[in-house]
Amino acid sequence: MNPQPLQIGYATQRSYARFWPRLNQRGPKMEFLHWLGSLLAWSLGTLILIGVPLGFLFNVSGPVLSYPFLLVAVVLTPLLAAASRSVRRRRAASVLGYLQQAIRLNLPLNRFLAAAAHSEKGRLSRELVELRHELEGGTPLAVALAMSVPEISERNIALIDYAEQMGRLPETLDRLVSEQVGESRKVRENRTIATWYPPILMIVGGSVVALIDVFVLPKFTALFKDFHLPLPAATRWVVGAADWLVLLVPIVVVVVLVMCAMRFREAVKMSRPTWLFRGMTDRLLWMLPLSRGPIRDRALADLCTALADSVELGYPLDQALLRAQQLELNVVIKGRMQRWGQGLAAGRPPGEAAREADMPQLLAGMLTTASAASNTGDVLRFLARYYSGRFVLGRELLRGMAVPAITLLMGILVGAVALALIVPLQRLIEAFARGGLR
Structural domains in the chain, CATH included, are: 16-181 (1.20.81.30)
For the stretch 271-325, pLDDT in tens is 666 666 777 888 888 888 888 888 899 999 999 998 888 888 888 888 888 888 8
Give 296: exposed, middle or buried? Use CB within 10 Å, 0-12, 13-18, 19+.
buried
Distance CA 19, CA 144 (A): 10
For the stretch 199-244, pLDDT in tens is 666 667 667 777 777 777 788 778 888 777 788 887 888 777 766 7
Question: In sequence order, what are the residues at sequence separation of 6 or more whose Cβ sits closer than 8 angstroms to the Cβ of residue 24?
Answer: 31, 272, 275
Ordered DSSP codes for 332-400: HHHHHHHHHHHHHHTT--HHHHHHHTT--HHHHHHHHHHHHHT-HHHHHHHHHHHHHHHHHHHHHHHHH
Segments of the chain with pLDDT less than 70: 1-28, 181-203, 205-206, 242-243, 245-246, 249, 270-276, 371-374, 435-438
Among residues 77, 73, 260, which one has the least CA distance to residue 65? 73
Give 270: exposed, middle or buried? Use CB within 10 Å, 0-12, 13-18, 19+.
middle
Yes or no: say if 305 and 332 are a contact pair by the CB < 8 Å rule. no
| 184 DSSP 8-state letter | -
Distance CA 63, CA 211 (A): 12
For the stretch 400-420, pLDDT in tens is 777 787 778 777 877 887 888
**Please, what is the end-to-end C-alpha distance for the chain in angstroms?**
100
Distance CA 21, CA 23 (A): 5
Phi and psi torsions of 422, nearest 5°:
-75, -40
| 151 DSSP 8-state letter | T
Estimate to the nearest angstrom the gap between the alpha carbon of 237 and the chain centroid: 36
Give 432: exposed, middle or buried? Use CB within 10 Å, 0-12, 13-18, 19+.
exposed
Residue 5 pLDDT: 45
The answer to whether the pTM exceeds 0.85 is no
Distance CA 324, CA 301 (A): 12
Q: Is residue 201 classed as helix, strand or coil in its secondary structure?
A: helix
Number of H helices, E strands in the chain: 18, 0
DSSP H or E segment with residue 410: helix 376-433
